Amino acid sequence: MLTRIDHIGIACFDLDKTVEFYRSTYGFEVFHTEVNEEQGVREAMLKINETSDGGATYLQLLEPVNDESTVAKWLAKNGEGVHHIAFGTPDVDADAAAIGGKGVRVLYEEPRRGSMDSRITFLHPKDCHGVLTELVTSAPEPPAEH
Ligand code: V0V
Ligand code: CO
């Protein structure tokens, strides 16, 4: 069952400048940063609020780390902006199977590693009214700030 908005993914050309915009404009601080080579991104997670399911909602700022990155391709076509929305679930495997059973294309056979050791998969935007949609199960240990 999908229980929260886990994050909104925002594609940007310059992560440091974008982080600074969110800090100086809204007061949002960086909770976590990492490079995810498999996904081709450097990212910053800004924690916005905690949620009633024990999780939290973040903004995920994404900068491509190479030209082959899906985010690089998307930026070249669209410029900066909202790239995807991610719903949190305690069981990404079950939800991906259930949603796939409704005819929506699930992009990964098995969930892959996402931010803060989460397990993630994606639904094809063309099957979701134009929205690239991610499903996320957080790591069992709640993420510590770093
Ligand atoms: C592409 N399209 C999108 C889109 N990306 N529509 C809405 N939102 C997006 N973000 C549309 C695009 O305009 C085309 O429509 C069509 O889909 C095919 O796109 P394409 O440019 O030819 O690109 P593809 O097919 O090579 O790749 C698109 C997909 C790819 C969605 C398959 O981006 C993908 O595998 N995404 C999942 C992985 C990902 O995005 N990773 C980065 C975030 P027209 O022109 O044909 O109408 S990593 C992350 O979130 C992490 C680590 C985390 O949360 O922990
Ligand atoms: Co994401």
pLDDT tens, residue by residue, 15-50? 999 999 999 999 999 999 999 999 999 999 999 999
Q: Is the CB of 114 under 6 A from ligand 1?
A: yes
Ligand 1 atom nearest residue 60's Cα? 54
Which pLDDT does position 142 carry in this prediction? 62
Which pLDDT does position 141 carry in this prediction? 79
Q: pLDDT band at 146, cuts 50/70/90?
A: low
Which pLDDT does position 143 carry in this prediction? 65
User: What residue type is assigned to position 39 of the chain?
Assistant: Q
pLDDT tens, residue by residue, 101-130? 999 999 999 999 999 999 999 999 999 999
Q: Which domains does the chain have, with CATH numbers?
A: 4-137 (3.10.180.10)
Q: What share of the chain is helix, strand, coil (3-state, %, to 5)?
A: 25, 40, 40
* Protein residue with its CA nearest to atom 28 in ligand 1: 70
Ligand 1 atom nearest residue 132's Cα? 8
Global pTM?
A: 0.97
Task: Give residue 117 CA to ligand 2 midpoint distance, Å.
Answer: 12
